[in-house]
A and B are shown apart, each in its own frame.
Chain A
Amino acid sequence: AAGVIQSPRHLIKEKRETATLKCYPIPRHDTVYWYQQGPGQDPQFLISFYEKMQSDKGSIPDRFSAQQFSDYHSELNMSSLELGDSALYFCASSLGTPRETQYFGPGTRLLVL
C-alpha cells in the first residue's frame, strides 16, 4: 500500500538560510499534519491542513509557513533557520473525518549548521 512520501529525507543548511520540505499524502487522504521531533523528544504538532485550508495551528514559529496544494501535497517553508530548528520533521496524512487515523511519513532530518 502507498505510504506518505517526504522529501528530501536529509537536509543540511546554514543558519539564516531557507528550507522547503515536501509531503505527499497517501492517495485519497485530504488532511496533512506537520510535526517536529527534537532529539529524544516526542513529536510536537506544528500545523495541519484539510482540503487545502489551514485547519489547526500548533507551536509553529512565525518564520515557518506551510500550505496544501490542489493535489493535496503540502510544503513546509522554513526561513531564517536557527540552530534549534535542527530536528526530524514528519508529515502525517489522514482522511478528514473526525478520529481518522494519522499515518506518518519517514521524515526529513534537518541539520542547521
Chain B
Amino acid sequence: GQQLNQSPQSMFIQEGEDVSMNCTSSSIFNTWLWYKQDPGEGPVLLIALYKAGELTSNGRLTAQFGTTRKDSFLNISASIPSDVGIYFCAGIMIKAAGNKLTFGGGTRVLVKP
C-alpha cells in the first residue's frame, strides 16, 4: 500500500498566487524528490533533497526535507499558467539492494476558472 500521504489531492491556482503541498509518511526516507508530470508524459524532476532539514530552491520552487525525515513540502511562488500539472513527491528508503521510489498520490494543480 501507499506509504506517502500527499496533500492536497488537488488545488486551483490563480496566476500570481503561492502554492504549497506536502507529503508525510510513517516511515523514514533518506531522500525526497519532487516531480511534475504533464498528461501522458514522464515525471520531470523538480527538486532533490538528500539531508534532513535541507531547504532547496529551484527558481520559483522551494522544497524542504523535514527534520524527522518523515515529511517534505514543496512551495511554488508567484504561480503561472504553465505550473498546471500533477506534482508527485517520492521518497527513497536506502537499503542494500535497490533504491526504488515510493510515490505520493499526487497533487493536481488546476487553474481557477
User: Contact partner of A102 among B41, B101, B104, CB < 8 A?
Assistant: B101
Number of interface residues of A (CB under 8 A): 28
Is A24 an interface residue when CB atoms closer than 8 A count as contact?
Answer: no
Establish whether residues A101 and B45, one from each chain, have CB atoms under 8 Å apart when the complex forms: yes
- Which of B2, B50, B94, B103 has most A Cβ within 10 Å? B103
Are B100 and A42 closer than 8 Å at their CB atoms? no
Question: A33 an interface residue at 8 Å Cβ cutoff?
Answer: yes
Distance to closest chain A CB from B67 (angstroms): 18
A25 at the interface (CB under 8 A from B): no
Interface centre among B33, B41, B45, B100 (most CB of A within 10 A): B100
Known: A42-B88, A48-B100. A99 touches B42 (CB 8 A): no
Do B40 and A55 touch across chains, with their CB atoms under 8 A apart? no
A32 vs B104: C-alpha distance when bound (angstroms) = 21
Specify the main secondary structure of chain B where it touches its partner: loop
Contact A43/B40 with A102-B33, A103-B45 known, Cβ cut-off 8 Å: no
Query: Which of A68-76, A78-86, A105-113 is near enough to bind chain B?
Result: A105-113
Tell me if B55 counts as interface (CB < 8 A to partner A): no
Q: For B92, what are the chain A residues with a Cβ–Cβ distance below 8 Å?
A: 99
Q: Known: A42-B103, A45-B101, A99-B30. Contact between A105 and B42, CB under 8 A?
A: yes
Kindly report which residue of chain B lies nearest to residue A58, judged by CB atoms: B100
A56–B43 CB distance below 8 A = no
Cβ–Cβ contact A104 & B100, under 8 A = no
Q: How far is the CA of A102 from the CA of B45 in the complex (A)?
A: 8
Q: Do the beta carbons of B101 and A33 come within 8 Å of each other?
A: yes
**B31 at interface by CB-CB < 8 Å:** yes
In the complex, per-residue mask of B43-66: 1 if CB is within 8 Å of any chain A CB, else 0: 111001010000000000000000
Chain B contact residues, CB within 8 Å of chain A: 2, 30-31, 33, 35, 40-45, 48, 50, 88, 92, 94, 97-106
12 contacts between A and B (CB under 8 A): A42-B88, A43-B103, A48-B98, A48-B100, A55-B97, A56-B99, A56-B100, A99-B31, A99-B92, A102-B99, A103-B45, A104-B35
